[in-house]
Structure 1
Amino acid sequence: MRDLFEDTATAFALKTDSELERAYFLFKLIGNEPLVRIGTAVTNFAIKANLPVERLIRATVFDHFCGGTNEEECLVVADRMFEKGVYTILDYSVEGQQVENQLDYTFEKTLKTLDFVKEKDAIPFAVFKPTGFGRFKLYQKITEGEQLTFLEEEEWQRVVNRFDKVCKKAHDLDVSLLIDAEESYMQDAADKLVEMMMRKYNKKKAIVFNTLQTYRWDRLDYLKKLHEDAKREHFHIGMKVVRGAYMEKENDRAEEHGYPSPICPSKKATDENFNQVVTYMLDNLDLMSLFAGTHNENSSYLLMEQMQAKSIAKNDPRVWFGQLYGMSDHISYNLSDRGYNVAKYLPFGPVKDVMPYLIRRAEENTSVAGQTSRELTLLKKERKRRRI
C-alpha cells in the first residue's frame, strides 16, 4: 500500500500535455522563494494600479489553482474530476471583505452554491469562511471578551443570522457544509457559533462541519470536550481536520503581545497532533464525521491503514479525504481509484478578488518543506513516462 502515491499515470490522467507542462513550470517558480516574494509584490502593485495583467494571471496560476470566475465555469472542471471519482467542493474564495454589502453578497453566493450542490452529484459539500459572513475585528473582539457596542451587537446578530440561514438551508437540502477556521485570536467566537449550529442542525447526522487546525496544540482537548457535550446533548460532530494555514502570523503575534504561542513547537508535534485527532474521530464515528484535509502522504496512509484495521468501509460516508485543486493529485486520484471518498476544494471568483487566496497558496507551497519538490518530482516522472 505504501507505494500507492507513486502512480503518476493515475494521478495526472486528466492533465493534457500542455497542462502538465504548465504545472511543472508553476511549481518550478513557486519553489524559488525570492521569486515568489518579488512576484507577489509586482502582482499586487499591478492589480492595484489597474494594469492589464488579469489575462496573464488567468492563463497561468489562476487556471491551475481555481475552477473559474463563476459557478458555471467550475461545473466543467467538476464534471471532469467526477469522471475519475473525485468530488468537488465549490469554494467562493474572495477574502477580506469588511462592509455589509460585501458580506451580504458572499452570504448570497453561499446560498446559491448550496443550490448547485443539491443538483450535482459531483459536488457533495458547500463551504464558507467565517470572515465571509462577518468582520474579522468583530470576531476578535468577542473572542477576547471585550464588550460590544450597541451597533456591534446588532452587527453580530446579522452574522449569526447569516450562519443560521445557510446552515438551515444545508440541513433542509441535506447537503454537508464545511466552515473554515482562521486565526486563533478570532476563532473562539467562530467556534461557539458553529457549535450552536451543530446543536441545532446535527441532530441526526453531521450536516455542519467545523474545522480543527491541528498545528494548534489545544485542538484535541477541544474536540474531546465537544464530544462530551455531543454525547450529553445528543448531536453529531462534523470536523474538517487540517494542519493549518497561519503559523508564521500566529507565532509572530504571540511574541509581539507576550503570550504563549498557540502553535505546536515543531512540525513533528503538529503531525502527531493531526494523527491523534484523526484516530480519535475514527474511534468515535457513531457521533462524528471526519473530513481529513491533508496533503501529507504519511497521514493519508495512516488513515487508510486505520480504516482497514477498524473495518471501516473505504466509502463510508462519515470519512472523507480532501485536497486543494491544483495540488497533490497523486494523493487525490490514487485514493479515489481505490474507492475512497475524495473531494477537491475548487476555488472560484473574480480574478482580482481571488488573488489573496492565490498568493497564500504560493507562499504556503514555498514555506512547507518538501511540498513543492515532491510535486516537481512527480510531474517530472509523468513527463518522462509520457515521452517513452
Structure 2
Amino acid sequence: MKTGKIFENTEIAFALKNDAQLQRAYLLFKMIANAPLVRIGTALANFALKANLPVEGIIRSTVFDHFCGGVNEDDCLPVIESMYTKGVSSVLDYSVEGKANEAEFDSAMEKVLKIIDFAKEKESMPIAVFKPTGFGRFYLYETLSAGKTLTPQEQEEWYRVEARFDKVCKIAKEKDVIVLIDAEESWMQDAADALVTKMMQRYNTEKPIVYNTLQMYRHDRLVFLKKEEALAKANNYFLGYKVVRGAYMEKENERAEKHGYPTPICESKQATDDNFNEAVKYMLDNIERMSLFVGTHNELSSYLVMEQIKDMNLESNDPRVWLGQLYGMSDHISFNLAHHGYNVAKYIPFGPVKDVMPYLIRRAEENTSVAGQTGRELALLQQERKRRKAKA
C-alpha cells in the first residue's frame, strides 16, 4: 500500500454522495470559503431563529444536513447505517450547548445513557461521548480549577456532577462501550481532568473504557500525559485518550491577554502539529497500557499513524487505535482509511436545529480560518465531479 496516495481517491471518498449531495457540498464549502459571508450568514441565522422566523427548513436542508445527522437519535440511523456499509463507524454527539440547570444536566446524562444503549445494540456505534459542561455548570469546574473552595451548596451540586459522570462510566463499562469525554477551555479543564482520572481509576481496570481528551495546541499536554501514565502504572489501571489539536484557540489567547498570564497555546501551528504527532507516537509506543482515538483532519498526521502502526507490526484494525473525523468534513480521509482496514469513526452531531446552531457556527468559522481546509475540500469535490462527468 502506498500511503502517500490513498487520500486522493475521490471515488471512495464520496461513494455515498449522489450528484445532488455532491453539488450541495461544493456550494456549501464555496460559501464557507468567504469569511465575510460566513459572519453575515451566521448573524442573520441567529437573528432569524431568535425572532422565530421560518428559517429552520432552509438551515436544515443546507448546513444542518451537511454537518449533522439529524434532530434526534432515530433521525441519525439512516446516516449511521449508510456509512457503516463502507466500514465507517459513528459516534453520536448530542451537540446542544449552553444549558445551565439541573434538569437539563440530568436530561443530557439520560441522552448519553440512551446512546450507550444504542451503541450496545449496534455494531456501527462502538463509542459514546459527552462534554463535561453537559453534566454540570462551567462555574463549578472553573472554581475548582482555580483552586478555590466551593460553598456547601455548590459542593452538593458538584457531587451531583460526579454522580452523573459515574453513572455513565459505570454503565459504559457494563455494556463494553467506549466513552469519550471531551476537553473544553483550559481554565476549567483541571477539575474535569481530575474527575476523568477518577473515572479511569474506577473503570479502566481491565482495559480502557473511559477516555479523556488531550488538546495538543496546549503546550503542557505532553507533560500531563506522562504524569497520568506514571499514575496509571502505580495504581494499575489503563489509559484512554482522544488526541486532538484543539477548538478554542482564539478564546484561549484572548483570555490570557486580558488576564495577563502566558497563553497555554503553542507558539505556532508547526509547534502544535509537532506536539500532536509526538503525543500520538508516545501513546502508540506505549500501546500495551494505553488506547487512543486520533481525532484529526490532517492528512500528514493520519499517514504518520498508519506508518507507525505498520512499523510496530500492529494490525490496521487493532482495537486500541481509532481515527476519527467530524461528519461533513474530510470524507477523503475517513472513507479511504476505512477502505484500507483502519478503525474509523465519524462524530455525528445531532439535536434540534435551533440548539445546534452554536456548533454549526463553530464548524463554519473553523473551516473559514483553518489554512487550506476549505480549499482542499473544494478541490476534492471538484475532482470527483469531473471524474463522474468523464465517466458518464
Q: TM-score range by the shorter chain?
A: over 0.9
Q: Does 1:368 align with 2:370?
A: yes
In the alignment, what sits opposite 1:248? 250
Looking at structure 2, the residues matched to 236 and 325 of structure 1 have their Cα atoms a distance apart, in angstroms, of 29
Q: Any idea what the Cα deviations from partners look like across 1:198-241, whole Å, max 9, x if unmatched?
A: 00000000000000000000000000000001111000000000
Q: Any idea what the Cα deviations from partners look like across 1:239-284, whole Å, max 9, x if unmatched?
A: 0000000000000100000000000000000000000000000000
In the alignment, what sits opposite 1:180? 182
Looking at structure 2, the residues matched to 326 and 98 of structure 1 have their Cα atoms a distance apart, in angstroms, of 29
In the alignment, what sits opposite 1:305? 307
Looking at structure 1, the residues matched to 62 and 175 of structure 2 have their Cα atoms a distance apart, in angstroms, of 36
Q: Cα offset for 1:20?
A: 0.4
In the alignment, what sits opposite 1:159? 161
Q: Letter of the 1:32 partner, please give it.
A: N
In the alignment, what sits opposite 2:272? 270
In the alignment, what sits opposite 2:291? 289
Aligned partner of 1:57 among 38, 47, 59: 59
In the alignment, what sits opposite 1:25? 27
In the alignment, what sits opposite 1:168? 170
Looking at structure 2, the residues matched to 196 and 366 of structure 1 have their Cα atoms a distance apart, in angstroms, of 38
Q: Cα offset for 1:99?
A: 1.0
Report the secondary structure of 2:342's partner residue: coil
In the alignment, what sits opposite 1:211? 213
Looking at structure 1, the residues matched to 149 and 283 of structure 2 have their Cα atoms a distance apart, in angstroms, of 36
Q: Letter of the 1:190 partner, please give it.
A: A
Q: Letter of the 1:180 partner, please give it.
A: D
Q: What is the correspondence of 1:117-136 to structure 2 with a 5 Å cutoff?
A: 117-136=119-138
Q: Cα offset for 1:141?
A: 0.7
Looking at structure 1, the residues matched to 268 and 50 of structure 2 have their Cα atoms a distance apart, in angstroms, of 37
In the alignment, what sits opposite 2:14? 12
Q: Does 1:239 align with 2:272?
A: no
Looking at structure 2, the residues matched to 305 and 72 of structure 1 have their Cα atoms a distance apart, in angstroms, of 37
Runs of 4+ in 1 over 3 A off after TM superposition: none
Report the secondary structure of 2:316's partner residue: coil
Q: Cα offset for 1:336?
A: 0.3
Q: Does 1:82 align with 2:84?
A: yes
Looking at structure 2, the residues matched to 96 and 186 of structure 1 have their Cα atoms a distance apart, in angstroms, of 15
Report the secondary structure of 2:341's partner residue: coil
Looking at structure 1, the residues matched to 144 and 59 of structure 2 have their Cα atoms a distance apart, in angstroms, of 38
Q: Provide TM-score, normalisation by structure 2.
A: 0.98
Looking at structure 2, the residues matched to 376 and 6 of structure 1 have their Cα atoms a distance apart, in angstroms, of 13
Q: Letter of the 1:266 partner, please give it.
A: S
Q: Cα offset for 1:50?
A: 0.9
Work out the number of aligned pairs and report it. 388
Q: Percent identity?
A: 66
Looking at structure 1, the residues matched to 157 and 35 of structure 2 have their Cα atoms a distance apart, in angstroms, of 40
Q: Cα offset for 1:38?
A: 0.6
Unaligned runs of 5+ in 2: none
Q: Letter of the 2:146 partner, please give it.
A: E
Looking at structure 2, the residues matched to 274 and 283 of structure 1 have their Cα atoms a distance apart, in angstroms, of 14
In the alignment, what sits opposite 1:381? 383
Q: Cα offset for 1:102?
A: 1.0
Q: Does 1:333 align with 2:335?
A: yes
Looking at structure 2, the residues matched to 346 and 198 of structure 1 have their Cα atoms a distance apart, in angstroms, of 25
In the alignment, what sits opposite 1:315? 317
Report the secondary structure of 2:124's partner residue: coil
Looking at structure 2, the residues matched to 355 and 308 of structure 1 have their Cα atoms a distance apart, in angstroms, of 41
Aligned partner of 1:46 among 48, 57, 61: 48
Aligned CA-pair RMSD = 0.5
In the alignment, what sits opposite 2:72? 70
Unaligned runs of 5+ in 1: none
Looking at structure 2, the residues matched to 156 and 46 of structure 1 have their Cα atoms a distance apart, in angstroms, of 36
Q: Any idea what the Cα deviations from partners look like across 1:299-320, whole Å, max 9, x if unmatched?
A: 0001101111111110000000
Looking at structure 1, the residues matched to 33 and 148 of structure 2 have their Cα atoms a distance apart, in angstroms, of 42
Report the secondary structure of 1:259's partner residue: coil
Q: Cα offset for 1:155?
A: 0.6
Q: Any idea what the Cα deviations from partners look like across 1:337-369, whole Å, max 9, x if unmatched?
A: 000000000011111111111011001111100
Aligned partner of 1:202 among 201, 204, 208: 204
Q: Provide TM-score, normalisation by structure 1.
A: 0.99
Q: Does 1:138 align with 2:140?
A: yes
Q: Cα offset for 1:137?
A: 1.3
In the alignment, what sits opposite 1:346? 348
